[in-house]
Structure 1
Amino acid sequence: MAISGAILLSYVVAHMIGNLKTFFGPEDLNGYAHWLRTIGEPVLHYAWFLWILRAGLIVAVVLHITATVQLVRRDHRARPVGYVHRRPVRATFATRTMRWGGATLALFVVWHLLDLTVGTVNQDFVEGDPYHNLVADFQVWWVNILYLVALAMLGLHINHGFASAARTLGVTSVRRERAIKIFGSGMAVVITAGFALVPISIMTGLVD
């Protein structure tokens, strides 16, 4: 779970940075999207790199979900009978929302692909013009709400998952634990804000 999560987090950071090219205009964003499809040429054919990347991300998502199910089942097998008296556990909101928040993100990813990659649910989708598709999409108020809610879930997931993964991989220690938690929380805020800037700017007319 920790390794697959780290792979997915790396992609999310790169994706966020790419999205910020929206603020430099259609030529920059569309040029960046075209460049992604030419990576590896002439060894790789046009868009092969993207398909290899997508395949790797699908594997990482499947492994992440599989690990989650395995850990939940192991937890239940370890304690099939509930405690008669349970001490209250001090858990953060991010911790309590990890499982259903992860399920929400999985559904959102499917929507996101249908919306801005395939264009099935985007009423004004234009093939090969991601800037236009973004602007057309985020001018719809309920689409903005959907994306912002999903981004909030992503931030919570990263906030808890980063510290948990660091502990699992042996990176953390008593001395470094606080610093790792602060770094993970800061990363969650930066990623959430970085993604949210685009729909909010389009919705408010700063980007058109």
Structure 2
Amino acid sequence: MKVVMAITGLIMVGFLLMHMYGNLKVFLGADAFNHYAHWLKGDILYPLVPSGWFIWIFRLVMLASIVAHIWSAAVLTGRAHAARSTKYVTTKRLSQTYAARTMRWGGVILLVGLIFHLLQFTTQTVQTGFTAGAEPYEMTVGAFGNWWLVLLYAVWVGIVCSHVRHGVWSALTTLGANTSPAARSFLNGLAWVIAVVLFVGFMIMPLAVLFGWVN
């Protein structure tokens, strides 16, 4: 179960890095951003697969990863609770980081935020500053022109990055990379770098829209 959680977690971290890079294309202008968004849904891997198939294959892989990640987390949590014959009078928390202690609740918050994000930008069910049928660039600028949405997004991205910081270290440790004190320090540093890069990379775009640098 730990290996399943580690592998699916790293798949999602890879997706986040790719998604962050794609978001930064907004600085190239509406045409470049819209072209990239439509390319994702059209010609990737064509003619190896028919046009438009890649996005659905990708979505199925991501959905399977999310389900497997949540399932393994639930199984491991159940096993941990079942292993306790009595409740502890005291709990040792000083050796754990805040991210480690809040991974389960953080995961729930991430899932709720992800569902909102999909309803907003994928299905356009929730329209925040744009109308149905709007182009990707128009949706992005319209949505992040709202200060309250940028604030909520910042909180959510912060929770994502906290989850990622602990998750990357934990996943690589599970997969056998934590073999020495030096390796432990490297993994911890790598986890921090990825988390910081993701936070900065994801927040540059909405802040640029909010302050009028992208319009």
Q: Into which bin does the TM-score normalised by the smaller protein fall? A: over 0.9
SS at match of 1:38: coil
Matches of 1:126 and 1:133, distance apart in 2: 9
Aligned residue type for 1:101: G
2:127 to 112, 122, 135: 122
Distance in 2 between residues matched to 1:121 and 1:186, nearest whole Å: 33
- Structure 1: distance between partners of 2:36 and 2:20: 13
Counterpart residue number, 2:104: 99
Q: Which of 109, 131, 136 lines up with 2:137 in the alignment?
A: 131
Which residue does the alignment assign to 1:207? 214
> What secondary structure does 1:176 align onto?
helix
Please report how far the alpha carbon of residue 97 of structure 1 lies from its aligned counterpart in structure 2 after TM superposition: 1.8
Which amino acid in structure 2 is aligned with residue 127 of structure 1?
A: G
Q: Which amino acid aligns with 1:171?
A: A
Match status 1:186 vs 2:190: no
Deviation readout 1:107-142 (Å, 9 max, x if unpaired): 111100110111111141353611110000001122
Indicate the RMSD between aligned Cα atoms, in angstroms: 1.4
User: Cα–Cα, structure 1 residues 43 and 114, in superposed 2: closer, same or farther, change >3 Å?
Assistant: same
The CA deviation at 1:85 is 4.6
- Tell me: CA distance 1:128–1:136, structure 2 relative to 1, closer, same or farther (3 Å): closer
Task: Please state how far the C-alpha of 1:48 moved relative to its aligned partner.
Answer: 1.2
1:163 match: 169
Give me the whole-angstrom Cα distance separating, in 2, the residues matched to 1:28 and 1:21. Answer: 7
Q: How does 1:29-108 map to 2 (within 5 A)?
A: 29-36=33-40, 37-108=42-113
Q: In 2, are the aligned partners of 1:163 and 1:184 still within 8 Å (CA)?
A: yes
- State the AA in 1 paired with 2:79: R
Whole-Å Cα distance in 1 between the matches of residues 66 and 26 of structure 2?
Answer: 27
1:76 to 1:25, Cα distance in 2 relative to 1, 3 A: same
- With over 3 angstroms needed to count, the CA separation of the structure-2 counterparts of 1:43 and 1:186, relative to structure 1, is closer
- CA–CA distance in 2 between the matches of 1:30 and 1:64? 31
- Encode CA deviations 1:17-66: one digit per residue, 9 max, x unaligned: 01100111111111111221211223433321001101110000000000
Mind listing any 5+ residue stretches in structure 1 that lack a counterpart? Answer: none
Q: Is the 8 A contact 1:126 1:133 kept in 2?
A: no
- One-letter identity of the residue aligned with 2:178: T
- Give the TM-score of the pair, scaled to structure 1: 0.95
Paired amino acid for 1:178: S
